[in-house]
Structure formats: structure tokens, C-alpha cells
Amino acid sequence: MKDELTTILDAMRAAQAELADYLVSADRNAELTIAKLVGILDRREVVKAMRLLRPLDGPGFAPERTLAEAS
């Protein structure tokens, strides 16, 4: 579980850094920032860690679309 938490925390830190860069940039590019966020949050190891921490077989299960599927 520690590895999964580390993976998710690293991804969140990277995503926050991208958002911070966007917010302080004089030349904002929302599409590029979103692409970078998708690249960070939809990495195989991040998605796997999320699935391991939140099993998808419990009551009230509703399948979630991945970011790649939604775009």
C-alpha cells in the first residue's frame, strides 16, 4: 500500500506543479496544461495504484472511464 500511496502522491505533486506553472505564466495555454495533466494522471502506474487502493468490486460499483477514454 505504501508504494501505491507514493505513486499517487508523486502524481499529485507533479499535477499541482503544472497547475502552478500555468497560473503564474504570462502566456497561458490551457490545452497544453490539460494535456500535461492527462499525461501525469493517466499514467499506467498511477491508474493501477488508484485501482489497488479503491477496489472496483465493492457494493455500488460504477465503472469509471479513464482519462484517455474520455478524451
Identify the sign of the CA torsion 33, 39, 42, 43: negative
pLDDT the model gives residue 54: 83
Q: Are 22 and 30 in contact (CB under 8 A)?
A: yes
Report which of 33, 53, 55, 1 is spatially closest to residue 63, judged by C-alpha positions: 55
d(CA 28, CA 31): 9
pLDDT tens sequence across 6-19:
999 999 999 999 99
Q: In this structure, what C-alpha cell is assigned to residue 63?
A: 465503472
Count of structural domains within the chain: 1
Residue whose entry in the numeric block shows the C-alpha cell 502522491: 9
- Domain span holding position 45: 2-70
Whether residue 70 has pLDDT greater than 90: no
Q: Note the pLDDT tens digit of each residue in 14-69.
A: 999 999 999 999 999 999 999 999 999 999 999 999 999 887 655 555 556 665 56
Q: Is the pLDDT of residue 4 over 60?
A: yes
